[in-house]
Structure 1
Amino acid sequence: MGSLRFLRYNWSYVTPLELKHRSVGLGTGSTATGHAHFTLNGRKFRIFGGSIHYFRVPREYWRDRLLKLKACGFNTVSTYIPWNLHEQKRGKFDFSGNLDLEAFVRMAEVIGLWVILRPGPYICGEIDLGGLPSWLLQDSKSRMRTTDKGFVEAVDRYFDHLVPRMAPLQYHQGGPVIAFQVENEYGAYDKDKHYMPYILEALLKRGIVELLLTSDLLGHATKGYVKGALATVNIRKPSRKVSKELSQLQGNKPILVMELWIGWYDYWGAEKHFVRNTRDVEHTVAEFIKYNISFNAYMFHGGTNFGFMNGAIFKSDVYRSIVTSYDYDAVLTEAGDYTEKYFILRKILGSISGIPLPPLPDPTPKSVYADVSLSHYLPLWEVLQYLHEPIKLSIPVSMENLPINNGSGQSFGFILYETPICSGGRLHAHAADVAQVFVNDTIIGFLNENSRNVDIPTFTGCQLLRILVENQGRLVFTSRIQHEQKGLTDSVSLNKVTLKGYTIYSLDMKMDFFDRLRSATWRPITGSYEGPAFYRGTLRAGPSPKDTFVSLPDWNYGFVFINGRNLGRYWSIGPQRTLYLPGVWLRPEDNEIIVFEKMMNGLFIQFTDEPKL
């Protein structure tokens, strides 16, 4: 173990072509004046990193974004690894397509970038449940992010599959990966003193030999620190507290700011898109360089929360869903375009690189397509026959506990509960996150975390009660992460009498669902329809499709699907007003566009070549 620790603190700078002939990795050293620094093969080395999340960027654009990182003067790319996307179903792993981690790392290597991997298991990253898979919530007694038996057994199975994919990518194996992060920001959670040593050892015993890091908010590094790893911090601007906290913790080690927050994320209902002053970023980076501080720009390129991957936060004790765009006011925009920050950082980093920076890749062209009229629709109730077989249960269960997907439940999307009722009155239910309540197909009211009662008008005979619940994103940074079950999470009562006998439909809206939906008989639209429904039209992209942004100015709330791909959520409350549509996801000529609107439809959708965030 001692030799591994020693090797982990001995790097030196080489080009990717030399990797096959070298065997010593990243480490630390000090100058004659006693100042600590990183070394790579015995030579002084500074980490100039930028975060790009492969799972938030279309695979076809990985190369473009990495080339732009290199051309800006950065030498390292970092990325989180989202457990919840790689293992949506327990025991079934997906590292294909946009989740091909190894291909992303190898592409970075070819371009000439070093790589830092941040495998979690918890990553935060404003992604649903902080990157933990939702099926962990099935056991209400399990304590996530601790050494609780059920949790670490799940982590071990995941690492048994993940680490063999990462290990050959290490510097010592001839790859570009020079460091791994142990968990993420654990100092702010701090529920189990044995947890961080367990995760560190889990990586070591599976063959990870490179530098290990912890990453914490300033003021929490001591609680998140584990012996055998280098402590790093996450901050927005320079502070004397950084060197003081880290030196007290680990002596004279190099300082790495693992997350220099270039911008920030947005949530639905915010007054405006967050923007960080470019001059502040310029000053901060200049200070870091002056004092020999290595840093990782979070985010260099944010990308998009496609589909249902977004998480949620508490803002002033109110639940807030994070928007679809993960633009983050980053160095590159959501669509990979250059910003003022990019050119300022390129100038700073270019001035100290010692060699000319690579030429700038061409900007990605955009297009403004003709408005699309959505001429046909299907009410949700007519779509149920195209879903998988419903589940029949005596009592409602949460989304995670629905007995589907080989026992893994449902991770994302919507869930519909139906049960007969024979009278009106006071309905009581706990729905997370938000529910629409219907009698047959007539909307009666809404339920959410703070509103658990709906009054149902009197009627004759027996009718069908329907409760459509949406998961708007599980909390990402909270001590109550154990309690993020979605759907109906308790019994439902009418006039204080518990209702029983449910038909439950899973609406996760995956690609195969839209394949089946194409055989449906769609209704022509004659006006507005109130209630959840699917609307279909055709986007004619021409022979050479290009990137664009979708605008739905007179729609209320829902999701947009292009050729079955989920672009993400739109919501009239803003601040986000457009959805990014990558041109690489469009086919030449005709493209199917489907909008799932929860409330009431508009008549058409528009396209623009500029985002409105």
Structure 2
Amino acid sequence: MSPNWLLKEHFEIYCLRLEFFIHEGKMEGSELSRRCGLSANSSQFTLDGKPVRILGGSMHYFRVPRAYWKDRMVKMKACGINTLTTYVPWNLHEPEKGVFDFEGQLDLLAFINEAARVGLWVILRPGPYICAEWDLGGLPSWLLRDKNMMLRTTYAGFTEAVNSYFDRLIPRVVQVQFSKGGPIIAVQVENEYGSYAKDDQYMSFTKKALESRGICELLLTSDNLEGFKRGGVHGALRTINFQKLTYGMIKHLDHDALLLQPQRPKLVMEYWSGWFDVWGEAHHVFSAEDMVSVVMAVLKQGMSVNVYMFHGGTSFGFMNGAVDSGTYKPQITSYDYDAPLSEAGDYTKKYRLLRSLFSSYHSENLPEMPALQSKKAYEAVAISQHVSLWETLQLTEPHQSENPVNMENLPVNNGNGQSYGYMLYETTITTGGTLNSRNNVRDRALVYVDALFIGVLDYKTQELTVPNQKGKQKLSLLVENCGRVNFGKALDSQRKGLTGDIVLNNVPLKNFTHYSLDLKPAFLDRLGAVSWVPHTTKPTFPGFFQGNLWVENNPSDTFIKLPGWSKGVVFVNGQNLGRYWSIGPPQTLYLPGPWLKTGTNQVLVFEEQKAGDEICFADLPDLGKTTNVTIHPFCSVT
């Protein structure tokens, strides 16, 4: 950190504290410190010595365009929310070992400052593990280059990396703690460790890592009922996560609370307002009336509550996670979550019912509900040109190896490996026969012989027939990382690409050429150097397809629809909007207005197998067929 950076940050923090204190009417001369922060030393929370109830809502800065942070926060405030909670994704802030990013969309301090200006307190959940239906639970994939890595333990390779990361993260937030004049009233120690609990020293390590760097506000842990006993750490308030509240749960929770933390307030850290979705299944919805009745019951019990999610947003790019409870299931791009504020920040029935409920817990009238962002169904964009993936291989440096190398161990990105996207594996074969993956494909491979598609290998299909032809043939496997598991005890095994031998007629294939296809902006920029052909020419798949969207006046939010397309990724003006897949449930991708510009906007689609002639737009999302959820099948493990 340069001295200029520190001076700038400290000046901004001082101005924020001044503004916050004037807003709260708590200035006393030049005093900018408070007596005490959030306290949990009695059956009720106190803040600055006064009784307080937390009415919280979760919103993740990394899932919401920065231009919309304030909009979403003001809407939270208008619903009666007084506390914003957010996770912090390590994998975005340190994408390569020792390379940190806290700028722009990832400016956490700016996000916290904005919450203070709106008048919201903040509960920070810095991890290092966050779950969040986020790739590898927010842990950076380069950790897995260590073949002995034991994530979320006191294994030296992990704790050294955590310490290095916290050295850069924590100093950015210590000055905006409540006791120093900022909005942070509590900090979570790790996340849901009771469902993992591999190392009885790990939570103590994490707690010390926070405190030793200046975290002095109330510490807390967060677990479901199953992990409530195992997930705590001495000196941190235990909080609970659930969706359904039963008499038995209250009795059980009261019993455990009396044993573990008598006469301390209860906080539902995650009251699940909805649920996440996986590809190929229905969109989960949870009745607004059922949700609000549980929140009402929680409040009548004297508890505080945090609604997870209040605004889900979007897992843009390749950031979606996956679940694996015996069957691997990647999650979708949308993180709408059936939350009170929709993916695009629109009001829902849940919002209005919560606003009515929360208003009775405020002594003054709630602010007016802000106007919604405009939505527009733009005219369809015709595909003007395309280029085959095979033509773009010249843009990436090939790497040779006798055996297939997994994504994380590929010698790219300054030795950090490849984290996301696709990898192409090529080798030469001289015969046909039976190709078997031995379940070493992570997660889905399109298989080609001399650029002709012959089938898909994944967790369900592990064998294909290779046609017999004379002479040498090029066998190609385009392997997609569909998302690393974000929860459970399989985190250490989330290496992607080909993770072992693939055999032809029971003989391991050798001598591979590897191409890294991470589809990062640098790669996309180089696409201008290849020869595109008009779309009147029959395309070869996989391939890139381009069209231009013309926007007049101020851009509006919209939703991309791809009828006739199969599976791939959409980029607009270089922004990776995420994956689409015709199997659904979603049939649209959210495109925020701030990512468009007046005039010409480039729309680029990477399509794996089947392209339409145009890209369509809608002013409403299509999240697919729904399934009503009353008791979640994952409640015992999330």
Q: Taking structure 1 as the reference length, what is the TM-score of the superposition?
A: 0.94
For residue 531 of structure 1, report the CA deviation from its aligned partner.
2.5
Match of 1:10 in 2: none
For residue 521 of structure 1, report the CA deviation from its aligned partner.
2.2
Match of 1:248 in 2: 259
Counterpart pick for 2:422 among 382, 400, 414: 414
Greater mean alpha carbon deviation, residues 212-221 or residues 457-466: 457-466
Task: Name the CA distance, whole Å, in 2 between partners of 1:478 and 1:219.
Answer: 13
For residue 460 of structure 1, report the CA deviation from its aligned partner.
2.0
For residue 55 of structure 1, report the CA deviation from its aligned partner.
0.2
Task: Name the CA distance, whole Å, in 2 between partners of 1:572 and 1:563.
Answer: 23
Provide Cα deviations, 1:419-477, integer angstroms capped at 9, x if missing partner: 22222222233211000111121012221124333221112221221110000001111
Q: Do the aligned residues in 1 keep the contact of 2:34 with 2:180 (CA within 8 Å)?
A: no
- Paired residues for 1:94-109 under 5 Å: 94-109=101-116
1:193 counterpart SS class = coil
Q: Do the aligned residues in 1 keep the contact of 2:564 with 2:610 (CA within 8 Å)?
A: no
Paired residue type of 1:24: C
Task: Name the CA distance, whole Å, in 1 between partners of 2:509 and 2:286.
Answer: 51
Task: Name the CA distance, whole Å, in 2 between partners of 1:427 and 1:305.
Answer: 34
Paired residue type of 1:565: Q
Match of 1:9 in 2: none
Q: Taking structure 2 as the reference length, what is the TM-score of the superposition?
A: 0.91
Match of 1:166 in 2: 173
- Paired residues for 1:256-295 under 5 Å: 256-270=267-281, 272-295=282-305
Determine if the alignment matches structure 1 residue 184 to structure 2 residue 191. Answer: yes
Q: Do the aligned residues in 2 keep the contact of 1:243 with 1:255 (CA within 8 Å)?
A: no
Task: Name the CA distance, whole Å, in 2 between partners of 1:237 and 1:466.
Answer: 48
2:526 counterpart SS class = helix
Task: Name the CA distance, whole Å, in 2 between partners of 1:232 and 1:314.
Answer: 25
Consecutive unaligned residues in structure 2, runs of 5 or more: 1-20, 624-638
Q: Do the aligned residues in 1 keep the contact of 2:129 with 2:191 (CA within 8 Å)?
A: yes
Match of 2:579 in 1: 569
Provide Cα deviations, 1:531-569, integer angstroms capped at 9, x if missing partner: 211111111121211000011121111111101111111
Task: Name the CA distance, whole Å, in 1 between partners of 2:24 and 2:518.
Answer: 43
Counterpart pick for 2:456 among 446, 464, 489: 446
Greater mean alpha carbon deviation, residues 494-503 or residues 349-358: 494-503
Task: Name the CA distance, whole Å, in 2 between partners of 1:180 and 1:420.
Answer: 54
Match of 1:8 in 2: none
Pairwise CA RMSD of aligned residues? Answer: 1.6
For residue 235 of structure 1, report the CA deviation from its aligned partner.
0.8
- Paired residues for 1:52-67 under 5 Å: 52-67=59-74
Paired residue type of 1:269: G
Match of 2:36 in 1: 24
Counterpart pick for 2:337 among 328, 345, 360: 328
Q: Do the aligned residues in 2 keep the contact of 1:16 with 1:176 (CA within 8 Å)?
A: no
Q: Do the aligned residues in 2 keep the contact of 1:232 with 1:246 (CA within 8 Å)?
A: no
For residue 218 of structure 1, report the CA deviation from its aligned partner.
1.1
Q: Do the aligned residues in 2 keep the contact of 1:16 with 1:110 (CA within 8 Å)?
A: no
Match of 1:586 in 2: 596
Paired residue type of 1:339: T
1:222 counterpart SS class = coil
Q: Across the two proteins, how many residue pairs are aligned to each other? A: 593
Task: Name the CA distance, whole Å, in 1 between partners of 2:131 and 2:257.
Answer: 22
Counterpart pick for 1:345 among 322, 344, 354: 354
Task: Name the CA distance, whole Å, in 1 between partners of 2:537 and 2:355.
Answer: 53
Determine if the alignment matches structure 1 residue 386 to structure 2 residue 395. Answer: yes
For residue 498 of structure 1, report the CA deviation from its aligned partner.
3.0
Paired residue type of 1:184: N
Match of 1:216 in 2: 223
Match of 1:124 in 2: 131
Match of 2:18 in 1: none
For residue 14 of structure 1, report the CA deviation from its aligned partner.
10
Task: Name the CA distance, whole Å, in 2 between partners of 1:242 and 1:262.
Answer: 20
The percent identity for this pair of structures is: 51
For residue 165 of structure 1, report the CA deviation from its aligned partner.
1.1
Task: Name the CA distance, whole Å, in 2 between partners of 1:530 and 1:263.
Answer: 41
For residue 147 of structure 1, report the CA deviation from its aligned partner.
0.8
**Any runs of at least 4 consecutive aligned residues in structure 1 with deviations exceeding 6 A, and if so which?**
none
Task: Name the CA distance, whole Å, in 2 between partners of 1:352 and 1:469.
Answer: 52
Counterpart pick for 1:91 among 93, 98, 102: 98
Task: Name the CA distance, whole Å, in 1 between partners of 2:600 and 2:138.
Answer: 35
For residue 21 of structure 1, report the CA deviation from its aligned partner.
4.2
Greater mean alpha carbon deviation, residues 43-52 or residues 391-400: 391-400
Q: Do the aligned residues in 2 keep the contact of 1:14 with 1:41 (CA within 8 Å)?
A: no
Paired residue type of 1:428: N
- Paired residues for 1:489-528 under 5 Å: 489-526=499-536
2:169 counterpart SS class = helix
For residue 587 of structure 1, report the CA deviation from its aligned partner.
1.1
Greater mean alpha carbon deviation, residues 344-353 or residues 18-27: 18-27
For residue 369 of structure 1, report the CA deviation from its aligned partner.
0.4
1:567 counterpart SS class = strand
Task: Name the CA distance, whole Å, in 2 between partners of 1:356 and 1:348.
Answer: 12
Paired residue type of 1:232: T
For residue 17 of structure 1, report the CA deviation from its aligned partner.
5.3
1:329 counterpart SS class = coil
Task: Name the CA distance, whole Å, in 1 between partners of 2:75 and 2:543.
Answer: 41
- Paired residues for 1:405-484 under 5 Å: 405-429=413-437, 430-484=440-494
Task: Name the CA distance, whole Å, in 2 between partners of 1:404 and 1:527.
Answer: 35
Q: Do the aligned residues in 2 keep the contact of 1:102 with 1:166 (CA within 8 Å)?
A: yes
Provide Cα deviations, 1:74-98, integer angstroms capped at 9, x if missing partner: 1100000011111111111111111
Q: Do the aligned residues in 1 keep the contact of 2:386 with 2:539 (CA within 8 Å)?
A: no
Paired residue type of 1:425: G
Q: Do the aligned residues in 1 keep the contact of 2:241 with 2:269 (CA within 8 Å)?
A: yes
Paired residue type of 1:539: L
Q: 1:88 to 1:16 in 2, by over 3 A?
A: farther
Counterpart pick for 1:371 among 380, 392, 401: 380
Task: Name the CA distance, whole Å, in 1 between partners of 2:350 and 2:137.
Answer: 28
1:400 counterpart SS class = helix
Task: Name the CA distance, whole Å, in 2 between partners of 1:54 and 1:427.
Answer: 44
Q: Do the aligned residues in 2 keep the contact of 1:299 with 1:330 (CA within 8 Å)?
A: yes
1:162 counterpart SS class = helix
Task: Name the CA distance, whole Å, in 1 between partners of 2:24 and 2:582.
Answer: 48
Q: 1:289 to 1:82 in 2, by over 3 A?
A: same
Q: 1:14 to 1:545 in 2, by over 3 A?
A: closer
Task: Name the CA distance, whole Å, in 2 between partners of 1:374 and 1:402.
Answer: 34
Match of 2:409 in 1: 401
Provide Cα deviations, 1:364-404, integer angstroms capped at 9, x if missing partner: 110110011112111110111223x1222222110001011
2:173 counterpart SS class = helix
Provide Cα deviations, 1:8-48, integer angstroms capped at 9, x if missing partner: xxxxx996553724241110254xxxxx1000121100111
Q: 1:16 to 1:514 in 2, by over 3 A?
A: farther
Provide Cα deviations, 1:198-226, integer angstroms capped at 9, x if missing partner: 11111111111000000001131110011
Match of 1:195 in 2: 202
